[in-house]
Amino acid sequence: MIPRLKTTSLLAFLFTALGPLGPVGIEAQVGGSLVEFPPLDITLEISETTDGQPVISMDTIELITGEYYRLNVTSSGETDWRLEMPDLLQNSHLRLVTVNDGIEIHLQSMVFRAIEFDQPGKISLSFTPIRPGTYAFTIGRNPIAQGLSRGQAGVQEADRRAEGRFVVR
């Protein structure tokens, strides 16, 4: 017969005994500074075909957990494009957003879903991925251009969309 333990004693025992095993299925761990300079630059360009289809300069972006990156996204501005990448953003330490190399938004513990280009320009996002995985991103017209309500997320027309993915190891 096993002696009856108080709940807190049992939990303490389990955490002590199983703690060294760590979370099952997670191989990467982030240690040290999450913003080790300089960041590694990645450039994603958004343009469009003559019939209005979005074109992206790359559809797979490989990242390493714990590395510090600056994603530089540019848009030709022919259409109001929206870049959605909520899963990557929710699984990264977000540091800084820079608009057209002049306006800086310092992010500490903030989350956002998308970036809209209402005119030609550039935005840079500095971040450190903290969880391995494959995270999709989409480029499509902004919701208002589609006749939808402002800020509606995750709705992209199938015939006016480009897709890609971030692969974090």
H helices within the chain, ranges in order? 7-18, 86-90
In this predicted structure, which of 11-20, 41-50, 143-152 has the lowest mean pLDDT? 11-20
What are the domain boundaries of the chain?
39-145+161-168
Q: What per-residue confidence (pLDDT) applies to 118? A: 77
CATH code 2.60.40.420 for 39-145+161-168? yes
Q: Any idea what DSSP says for residue 3? A: P
Inter-residue contact 70 to 41 (CB < 8 Å): yes
**C-alpha dihedral over 73, 76, 82, 83, to 10 degrees?**
-20
Residue 31: pLDDT band with limits 50, 70, 90? low
Q: What per-residue confidence (pLDDT) applies to 60? A: 96
Token readout for 163 is 């897709």
User: Are β-strands 92-99 and 103-106 bridged in parallel, bridged antiparallel, or unpaired?
Assistant: antiparallel
Residue 112: pLDDT band with limits 50, 70, 90? confident
Q: Provide the mean pLDDT of the chain.
A: 77
Q: What per-residue confidence (pLDDT) applies to 2? A: 46
